[in-house]
A and B are shown apart, each in its own frame.
Chain A
Amino acid sequence: MQKSLQIEPEKCTGCLQCELACSYHHEGIFNPSKSRIKVFAFHHEGRFAPYTCTQCTEAWCLQTCPVEAIVINKTTGAKEVIADTCVGCKVCTIACPFGTINYQVDTGKVAKCDLCGGDPACATACPTSAITYVDAEQSGYLRMQAHAALSIRHL
């Protein structure tokens, strides 16, 4: 079963545990600026929204890479950057409509979410289940269930 990250912004408190977990998993250091998942605070709305790569099926970052440094992980479906191959041309950062692949100055390569090989650290670290890792074909299941519950309310 392929899984995908499911993000429910209404549950997010903006604590950045996900950013710490991501940077620690990938870089071995607690560093929000190196995180591939970002939490955005919308102060005047009083809302927080975690955001990261959705692993597009037709991934423009992958399509556009001139050196084929972005490959599909057959198990997880993640589009992964092969750091040894990446030449740091940044074309993928232009191609991505969502801004979720970014250049890192210190390595000279790009970095993006790779689903941690199938056990995303951000989802594990999230204290409120705002980020979960669920069946890719059933990511709407809980919302469907909630609306189904509404539909029986007056029965």
Chain B
Amino acid sequence: MAWTRNVLRVNLTNKTCIKEPLKMEWAGLYLGQRGLGSKYLAEEINPKVDPLSPGNVLIMATGPLTGTPASTAGRYSVITKSPLTGTIACSNSGGFIGMEIKNAGWDMIIFEGKAPSPVYLYVENERAELLAADELWGKSVWDADEWLHNRHQDPLLRIATIGRSAEQGCLFSGIINDLHRAAGRSGVGTVMASKNLKAVAVRGTKGVGNIKDPIAFMAAVKAGKKLLADAEVTGEGLPKYGTQVLMNVINEVGAMPTRNFRDVQFEGAENISGEAMHVPRKADGKTNLVTNAACFGCTIACGRISTIAKGHYTIDNKPRYWGASGGLEYEAAWALGSDTGVDDLDTLTYVNFLCNEDGMDPISLGSTIAAAMEMFEQGVIGIKETGGIVLKFGSAEALVKVAELTAKGEGFGRDIGLGSKRLCEKYGRPELSMTVKGQEFPAYDPRGIQGMGLTYATSNRGACHLRGYTVSSEILGNPVKTDPLATEGKAALVKAFQDATAAVDSAGLCVFSTFAWTMADIAPQVAAACEGKWTEDTLLQTGERIWNLERQFNLAAGFTAADDNLPKRLLKEAAKTGPAKGLVNNLDKMLPEYYQLRGWTDQGVPTAETLARLAV
């Protein structure tokens, strides 16, 4: 079982909170979280709906394993139609809010309509009500969190909220939970803001039970925890360095996008790496990293908790940033650092704090600023547009100023809040936008890691590493090493990773577990917890079903094979240095085979046979 079998349906227009049974026939096909939430979304909205209109729906979904001791099973996802991409959006977050929603007795919360004035949802087990948020609107994530804890006099309340950037219409705003964990990508926070929904505050004391076979489950969980502890990446690398363990590795293989993808290696990478976070600073003798931290139930604990050196120019006279908070993950360090050419660790930590404080996706923020920097250097935009900011690559001060403006939706920050695609279009240089389907690239240059090019081009939520992390195979050799510079076999590799990831997400697990686990380690945990037949094969088929469902949504929204593409820079301009020197991404060698393996037409449309086979 494992599901609570309850869905909380919140109609913001009518201000109603209604309990309804989870559709178990869908749970049997889509498992939970990403898959099940996407099924609900696809059934409930017109794929062509304006993402920021009341007709869009926003779903917060847990997985069947969320809230159990299965390691890393603390995840939840926010599923909606993205205002950044126009595709289906599904942003996954850790922290503690997912388990709290589950402990309150809900598998998912569905928000529909739009509140006439700002509200927040308060949930205490079965009790759910919409309360006025007029005093909350305009507050940052951190201030909203404090206000809600004080208001309800409950230190154990778990909170997910949007910041000021979302309220101001920034198109890449996420939803922050537990102060510094983020459902970060694709502008899911912007959708929340469009519904006048400021926050979700949850207290759950019912617990998570309904485990089908508790004895088998605890045995499978124990075996899983041991594998994570024994594997080098999950047992040593990630706890010590976090995802930042990758900074030097990816730079060395020449896949570190730098200065808006003009270069593939960053000379300052070492200064902003996971290793650097352990080096005592000159300014105060302390390290940037205070400790590692876990999301709920996670025995890896890759999270970074950092401080900025007292007296650092970014936090002078700003005591709110003097304490410890969520530090740099690799993606943030790359986007805010390498992509803008800035290599001051504490500056990046400060901008990362801003991203948490006001709910900005650091990948999109950094990438969009990088695109703006390139246009500034080319003279396409000048200080007239930026409000006097000299927006040059490598300028830490410019990065800080622009990030502060974007957080509050002021000045040139409003331009940045458009995201890279719209910004570059606005100034007549669309080719400088490093995006797919309108979403900014993450931290792997597909000229140096060929499979990632196909991953980006075909990702159902636009450029993204979390939809098929073939870096794991191409660089880290997990589960088998493949040549990052070769295209042969990559179509099959990408498909396998995409399907497996969809299943992992939908169970409520973290994709980082797959650095140590294969589907053979995950299946026994799902099978022991959930009714139904869950094997390696059925999980992979579930993943494939989810992938096709998302694809169908996007096709119905108006996307075509022409959108499964990469920016010209990655297809025409060769990498200048490193192992991939002289190479471009050879997407055209992989994409047709990929369509074929997926059972899609050469126009990227799932055939009737494929849809029937998968019961989409």
Contacts and interface: CB of A to CB of B under 8 A. Distances in A.
Contacts of A30: 67-69, 207-209
Contacts of A63: none
B554 interface: no
Interface of B: 67-69, 71, 96, 99, 103, 156, 179, 204-209, 214, 218, 225, 229, 239, 290-299, 301, 303, 305-307, 323-325
Contacts of B294: 13-16
A29 B207 contact: yes
A128 B323 CA distance: 25
Contacts of B96: 16
A17 interface: yes
Given A30-B69, A31-B207, A32-B99, 18 more contacts: A10-B291, A13-B239, A13-B294, A17-B299, A20-B68, A20-B69, A24-B69, A31-B206, A31-B208, A34-B207, A43-B323, A43-B324, A45-B323, A45-B324, A46-B290, A46-B323, A47-B290, A127-B301
A15 B209 contact: no
A45 B307 CA distance: 9
A96 interface: no
Contacts of A46: 290-291, 293, 305-307, 323-325
A125 B69 contact: yes
Given A24-B69, A32-B103, A44 B299 contact: no
Given A30-B209, A33-B205, A13 B301 contact: yes
A16 B301 CA distance: 11
B301 A20 contact: no
A51 interface: no
B18 to A, nearest CB: 25
A34 B209 CA distance: 13
A34 B68 CA distance: 14
Interface residues of A, number: 27
A33 B206 CA distance: 8
A16 B291 contact: no
A70 interface: no
Given A43-B325, A127-B225, A17 B69 contact: yes
B429 to A, nearest CB: 42
Task: Select the residue from A16, A23, A128 with max chain B CB neighbours within 10 A.
Answer: A16
Nearest to B211: A30
B301 A15 contact: yes
A45 B103 CA distance: 27
13 contacts: A13-B239, A15-B295, A16-B96, A16-B294, A20-B297, A24-B218, A27-B207, A29-B207, A45-B290, A46-B323, A48-B291, A125-B69, A127-B299
Nearest to A106: B205
A92 interface: no
Can you list the 8 inter-chain pairs with the closest CB atoms, starting with the nearest? A31-B207, A44-B323, A46-B324, A46-B290, A15-B294, A13-B301, A127-B299, A29-B207
B225 A23 contact: no
Contacts of B99: 32
B297 A17 contact: yes
A110 interface: no
Interface string A89-125: 0000000000000000000000000000000000001
A44 B323 CA distance: 5
Contacts of A32: 99, 103
Nearest to A24: B69
A45 B214 CA distance: 37
Given A30-B208, A34-B207, A16 B296 contact: yes
Nearest to B298: A15
A117 B99 CA distance: 29
Contacts of A44: 323-325
Task: Select the residue from B205, B294, B299 with max chain A CB neighbours within 10 A.
Answer: B294
Nearest to B228: A127
A128 to B, nearest CB: 7
Contacts of B71: 17, 127
Contacts of B324: 43-46
Contact of B205 (A14, A20, A28, A31): A31
A21 interface: yes
B525 to A, nearest CB: 13
A140 B47 CA distance: 63
Interface in A29-84: 29-34, 43-48
A17 B99 CA distance: 12
